[in-house]
């Protein structure tokens, strides 16, 4: 049995996991705070790659 963990903080996910789209991929996070952090990190990385 493989346990799922939060894409942002590596905490174990339960039935309350939140699914968000990052770069066209669906990822699961444990809470709204992690969803916001992950989206901000992706936006920052995307902006730095552009220039």
Q: What is the pLDDT of residues 27-45, one digit of tens each?
A: 999 999 999 999 999 999 9
- At residue 8 the predicted structure's pLDDT band, cuts being 50, 70 and 90, is very high
**The pTM is what?**
0.82
CA 12 to chain centre: 13
Going by pLDDT thresholds of 50, 70 and 90, the confidence category of residue 48 is: confident
pLDDT for residue 3: 83
Q: Report the distance separating Cα 12 and Cα 5, nearest Å.
A: 4
Mean pLDDT, the chain, integer: 92
Return the pLDDT at 19: 96
């Amino acid at each position: 049995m493989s346990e799922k963990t939060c894409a942002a903080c590596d905490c174990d996910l339960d039935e309350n996991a939140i699914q968000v789209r990052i770069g066209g991929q669906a990822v699961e996070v444990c809470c709204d705070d992690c969803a916001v952090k992950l989206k901000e990190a992706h936006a920052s990385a995307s902006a730095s790659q552009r220039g």
